[in-house]
Amino acid sequence: MKKTSGKTTLTVLLLFFSFIIATCMMGCNAPNESASQKKQESTDSTSGYATINGLKMYYEIHGKGNPLVLIHGGGSTITTTFGKVLPLFAKSRQVIAVELQAHGHTADIDRPLSFEQDADDVAALLQQLHIKNADFFGFSNGGSTAMQIGIRHPDIVRKLVVASAFYKRDGAYPQLWTFMQQATLDNMPQQLKDAYLRINPDTKGLSAMHDKDRQRVLSFKDWPDSDIRSIKAPTMILIGDQDIVRPEHAVEMYRLLPHGRLAILPGGHGAYIGEITVAEKDSQLRTLTVAMIEAFLDSTQ
């Protein structure tokens, strides 16, 4: 793996911090939009809210075909994580993109954040949408949620793509944990703060999610190897070669999975999908990433 300088390492950590601990994207109140689905510009696109597990969860549906669920990173939204690749997937699939508790359009409620609860919320949403099973693509925190869906709700999973996520603390570089101890809202990339405030101009909400998401990361405890072995669905592990996840850890997960695939692409945390804070103008990497993921999802494995 290419060694990074102290400055580069800090930059990578700041980016990861943005996903994991950005801040309460809906504070106390959801925006004034209809709870029923509403038609958008395309007849193949809808958005709406579903009340599940005490949460009013926002979701969007784009395109037609086999369902693919997109699960964003911490502190992010559908657009900031997947804005560059969602239209590519929607050309041939029914893309169901969600915003989890306290993120984007989905208001926070009085419960801590956990990957297990996020997984249960996504599973409940699919049940309401009458989708029996689907493929799942989760990035960063969303990758951890995707793994928990595979562990806790195997019957609804056809295939998984787990991107830039870890299941043990030593799966991330040590500098992450040092940095997280000192994390503040000021460290959050401006692009993510702007995206939040465009949806909900609530600075208190922003700070609230920051604290909740930061606490979730700092209190993270290793998952047992048996949890990863229990994921029976074909699963692709995907990271960047300058990611916050160590390549050795990605290989470890790949080896534990009964039906695992592994891809290590050039770039940092989310560069391969054009995540908003690291997106390069006119980059072809994200197009190649989508093609690779689609080949995996379409394969007979």
Residue 93, domain CATH = 3.40.50.1820
**Does residue 222 form part of some domain?**
yes
**How does residue 3 score in pLDDT terms, banded at 50, 70 and 90?**
very low
**Does residue 126 form part of some domain?**
yes
| Predicted confidence (pLDDT) at residue 195 exceeds the cutoff of 70 | yes
**How does residue 43 score in pLDDT terms, banded at 50, 70 and 90?**
low
Range of the structural domain that residue 46 is part of: 6-28+39-298
**Does residue 33 form part of some domain?**
no
Q: How far apart are CA 284 and CA 268, in angstroms?
A: 15
pLDDT in tens, 50-64: 999 999 999 999 999
**Does residue 152 form part of some domain?**
yes
Q: Report pTM.
A: 0.85
Mean pLDDT of 90-95: 98
**How does residue 205 score in pLDDT terms, banded at 50, 70 and 90?**
confident
| Predicted confidence (pLDDT) at residue 282 exceeds the cutoff of 90 | no
The confidence score (pLDDT) of residue 301 equals 74
| Predicted confidence (pLDDT) at residue 281 exceeds the cutoff of 90 | no
Mean pLDDT, the chain, whole residue set: 87
Q: How far apart are CA 249 and CA 246, in angstroms?
A: 5
Mean pLDDT of 70-85: 96
Q: Phi then psi for 215, rounded to 5 degrees?
A: -65, -35
**Does residue 95 form part of some domain?**
yes
Mean pLDDT of 38-54: 77
**How does residue 209 score in pLDDT terms, banded at 50, 70 and 90?**
confident
Q: CA distances (Å), 249 to each of 168, 170, 239, in order?
A: 8, 8, 10
**How does residue 211 score in pLDDT terms, banded at 50, 70 and 90?**
confident
Structure tokens at 27: 């504070």
Percent of the chain with pLDDT over 70: 86
Mean pLDDT of 57-81: 97
The confidence score (pLDDT) of residue 100 equals 96
CA 234 to chain centre: 18
For 104-128, letters b (16+ CB in 10 Å) and e give bbbbbeeeebbbebbbbbbbbbbee
Q: Phi then psi for 24, rounded to 5 degrees?
A: -60, 95
Nearest to 158 by CA among 250, 232, 228, 99: 232
Residues 6+ apart with CB under 8 A from 37: 46, 47, 48
Question: Between these two residues, 226 and 182, which has the higher pLDDT value?
Answer: 226
Count up the domains in the chain and report the number: 1
Structure tokens at 149: 């869906």
**Does residue 1 form part of some domain?**
no
**How does residue 29 score in pLDDT terms, banded at 50, 70 and 90?**
very low
**How does residue 175 score in pLDDT terms, banded at 50, 70 and 90?**
confident
Mean pLDDT of 134-148: 98
Question: Between these two residues, 35 and 287, which has the higher pLDDT value?
Answer: 287
| Predicted confidence (pLDDT) at residue 35 exceeds the cutoff of 50 | no
**Does residue 34 form part of some domain?**
no
Task: Find the range with the poorest average confidence among 32-46, 142-156, 167-181, 191-205.
Answer: 32-46
The confidence score (pLDDT) of residue 184 equals 86
**Does residue 137 form part of some domain?**
yes
